[in-house]
Amino acid sequence: MYLQLGRDYVVNTRDIVGIFDLENTSTSRRTRDFLAYAQKNGAVVSLSEELPKSFILTDSPVEPVYLSPLSPASLKRRAENVPGEPQLRPDSGR
């Protein structure tokens, strides 16, 4: 099934590695370095002109990091409402 991330972008739920709160995770140097590396390599898609609230890491070959204006809680609720898909666990993002 598919999850709508914002601004008409959808991803296959099987391709989602994790959904992360940008405010909390960006305090880590490793996360900042990872996002800078992904941005430098053209692997980041911003889904809004607003400040993003979350980033979604995917296992797809193209554009694996999405910056979403939706909170991780909103994305989790959307994913839980997808019929026939496994429920996301709050500890791992899946």
Q: Could you list the residue range(s) of the whole structural domain that residue 49 is in?
A: 2-80
Q: Does 55 reside within a domain?
A: yes
**pTM score of the predicted model:** 0.81
Q: Does 94 reside within a domain?
A: no
Q: Does 7 reside within a domain?
A: yes
Domains of the chain: total: 1
Note the pLDDT tens digit of each residue in 30-46: 999 999 999 999 999 99
Task: Count each helix (H run) and each strand (E run) in the chain, helices first.
Answer: 3, 6
Note the pLDDT tens digit of each residue in 47-69: 999 999 999 999 977 778 999 99
